[in-house]
Structure 1
Amino acid sequence: MSYRLKVITREEHLAFVTTCPSVSHMQVPSWGDVKPDWRAESLGWFDDDDRLVGVGLVLLRPLPKLKRYLAYLPEGPAIDWAATDLKLWLEPMLAYLKERGVFSVKMGPPVVARRWSAEAVKAAIADPQARQLRDVEATAHEPRAFDLADQLRRMGWQQTEPGGEDGFAAGQPRYVFQVSFAGRTLEEVQRDFNQQWRRNIKKADKAGVKVVQGGYEDLTTFYALYVETAKRDRFIPRPLAYFQRMWTVLRAEREDRMRLYLAHHEGEVLAAATMLTVGEHVWYSYGASTSRKREVQPNNAIQWRMMCDAYELGASIYDFRGITDTLDEDNHLLGLLRFKAGAGGQAVEYLGEWDYPLNKVLHKALDLYMSRR
């Protein structure tokens, strides 16, 4: 079997995605429109019978004054990662990108390496000897992920280490938290919540917190809470225009691709969150809340509503997205890990992001530049 790679239309790309149970929201055609500073192309892999068998959204970033590009496939491409010989898939991609003037390729295989149950995460947080989740014995290992990593290294790919002491990489998160819906009722899902989560959902309901879906005009309300959250949690907020563009382009592709939820209490919006859907995979994407009236538990209320709606959409996975790898009590991100682990589910480690230097001099120069930022 050999594979031929060529640029495909957005329509071909989207049609393939709709046949897959799970493809990252960063691998749908509309995601390229979310990133206007990059040039997006849809790539397709065709087998010997000329059938489309894999797709990838590649983002190309030009180097100033040079006709050279950095290529990035966030959480992709969507190919057969269980293949015994990945060269058959990846070499045509590298050859095409080299012809396009690409000097370095970055990709994030959507392959799970290890999982930790919520109980294992809770025990790790309580263990004074545990410093990082990656050093804690996992509940489950995925052997094929390590075979795949060996294949990539032999081909010349270089694994990007998780950046920063908190375990968040410069690209996409390597560690996430997920709740499985597959084969379960919502009642069974809620039974796995810890006592605090269940109590908080009831408390929010009793206090009169109402969670509703918002529209484009509500993004400014979301954004005000988001900026407050950024200041409190010490991160740099994206501009409002980013979320407005996300809303416009993602929902133009499919109405349920992006939703906005707002938690109201006595005429005031206390929390807001965005939800993204591709196939059977639903992501809690961005969250925001005020420090006021925390006692009415709007964050638990909004998550439960989103989980219920995700279930109704046919989701098999509800993905809380990134978590910190650190278990240090002094790290302000540990509270977020505790919150997500309270929903049951599992902490999940992906294979991480990988680089392939097509031009070693330019690749090394980029690495040096990024390390000094």
Structure 2
Amino acid sequence: MAVLIAERISLEELSSRAETAGFLQTAFWAKQKASFGWKAEAIRWNRGEKEGVLLILIRSLPAGLSLAYVPGGPPASAGQEDRDSFLVELSMELRGILPLGCFFIRYDLPEYSTFDTLAPVFPDILKKAPLDIQPPDTVVLDLREGYDALLPGMHKKTRYNIRLAAKKGVTVEIAGADRLKEWYELYRITALRDKIGIHPLSYYENLFSLLSDNKQARLKLFLAYSEAELLAGIIVLFHQKEAVYLYGASSNEKRNLMPAYALQSAALQEACRRGCTSYDMFGIPPSEDPDHPMAGLYRFKTGFGGEIRHRPGAWDYPYSRLIYLFYRLLEAARKYYYKSWKKR
């Protein structure tokens, strides 16, 4: 069996594989996270005739400890024939590159199953993380036939709400970073209403700034108005042939005008105009459970049609089992606080 070898490379070299990697494995995402407390490392791995590049984010912790996180990687094609062995070999090889106090590495694996089939699991080699970082479940729309081809696949209520928003005079404007402060005020309202955590305004301003002259990716801010009143707004990333709905905010007022439907309709049309072949809603509950606290989000996003995908979520490879066990307990407590206690 071929030996896996890894070496450091520059962040810019990640761009050479941008065609096959999602936005979480790009140089601009590395720079974004590096601006907010993470150290970004790029590596190239070789295993026989196969090779790839990988973004690793490192977070420093007290007492000289640290953790490593691989967002959206390694790609599903890496070690496809023996994925389990590949991940073990990769983790062991990266141990020599990561800081001495790094006690585990976390992978947000991108492979997925569809609809009612189970997502891949790795119980023998990795430990399922108590807390997922990226949403493991999502719905992705196929844009290759254009916007009009999407309409028959939408739920009839979704089509109705899109028409209703237009009938009630809701208009959508495509804006840039100069309108972020207006949008962020709505985002704060949304966070209070839905009891979710959000980044400071500077986080979103920095991301827009990083992509201001990027040839591979663009961010657009879609704002929905009723006359002069801002009702809702979403941020959509256009990366290569993929569009991703990243962030959404809405007012507590005039929600009956259905501005959220007008926004998604406008974003889908813009994605088609830009030649995107897919639109990722980027996060839904794992199933159509009416008792789930985000059941309304499931109905809203799946109402536009598309393919429901289930990813494995976050999986950990411990380097120090004792320290890792203690960290798991802390993270499980954090999950309970944010997912259960805070939402009471």
TM over 0.5: yes
Structure 2 counterpart of 1:16, one-letter code: R
CA contact (8 A) 2:241 2:275 kept: yes
Query: Which residue, 55, 80, 83 being the options, matches 1:83?
Result: 80
Structure 2 counterpart of 1:181, one-letter code: L
**Alignment of 1:176 onto 2:174:** no
The equivalences for 1:1-373 within 5 A come to 1-17=2-18, 19-20=19-20, 23-35=21-33, 36-46=36-46, 48=48, 53-66=51-64, 68-78=65-75, 80-81=77-78, 83-86=80-83, 87-88=85-86, 90-100=88-98, 101=100, 102-113=102-113, 115-116=114-115, 138=116, 141=117, 146=120, 149=121, 152-154=122-124, 156-160=125-129, 169-182=131-144, 184-254=145-215, 256-325=217-286, 327-373=288-334
Residue 65 of structure 1 and its aligned partner are, at CA, apart by 2.7
Inter-partner Cα distance in structure 1 for 2:332 and 2:86? 33
Cα 1:91–1:252 change in 2 (3 A) is farther
Residue 242 of structure 1 and its aligned partner are, at CA, apart by 1.4
Inter-partner Cα distance in structure 2 for 1:108 and 1:352? 6
SS at match of 1:30: helix
Residue 57 of structure 1 and its aligned partner are, at CA, apart by 1.1
Inter-partner Cα distance in structure 2 for 1:329 and 1:92? 41
SS at match of 2:265: helix
CA contact (8 A) 2:285 2:292 kept: no
SS at match of 2:55: strand
- Identity across aligned pairs (percent)? 28
CA contact (8 A) 1:178 1:317 kept: yes
SS at match of 2:62: coil
Residue 354 of structure 1 and its aligned partner are, at CA, apart by 0.8
Inter-partner Cα distance in structure 1 for 2:287 and 2:17? 38
Could you report, residue by residue, the CA deviation over 1:31-71 in whole angstroms, capped at 9, with x for unpaired residues? Answer: 1222221101111224556x8x32211111112131x3200
Cα 1:332–1:366 change in 2 (3 A) is closer
Residue 260 of structure 1 and its aligned partner are, at CA, apart by 1.1
Inter-partner Cα distance in structure 2 for 1:344 and 1:252? 33
RMSD of aligned C-alpha atoms?
2.3
Aligned residues: 328
Structure 1: gaps (5+ residues): 117-137, 162-168
Residue 288 of structure 1 and its aligned partner are, at CA, apart by 0.6
Could you report, residue by residue, the CA deviation over 1:298-342 in whole angstroms, capped at 9, with x for unpaired residues? Answer: 111110111111122222221111112365535441111111121
Cα 1:326–1:223 change in 2 (3 A) is same
Cα 1:191–1:79 change in 2 (3 A) is closer
CA contact (8 A) 1:3 1:89 kept: no
TM-score by structure 1 length?
0.81
SS at match of 2:271: helix
Cα 1:56–1:72 change in 2 (3 A) is same
Inter-partner Cα distance in structure 1 for 2:227 and 2:242? 33
**Segments of 4+ in structure 1 off by > 6 A?**
none
Residue 226 of structure 1 and its aligned partner are, at CA, apart by 0.7
Residue 223 of structure 1 and its aligned partner are, at CA, apart by 0.4
Inter-partner Cα distance in structure 2 for 1:300 and 1:323? 16
SS at match of 1:288: strand
Structure 2 counterpart of 1:211, one-letter code: V
Inter-partner Cα distance in structure 1 for 2:42 and 2:212? 19
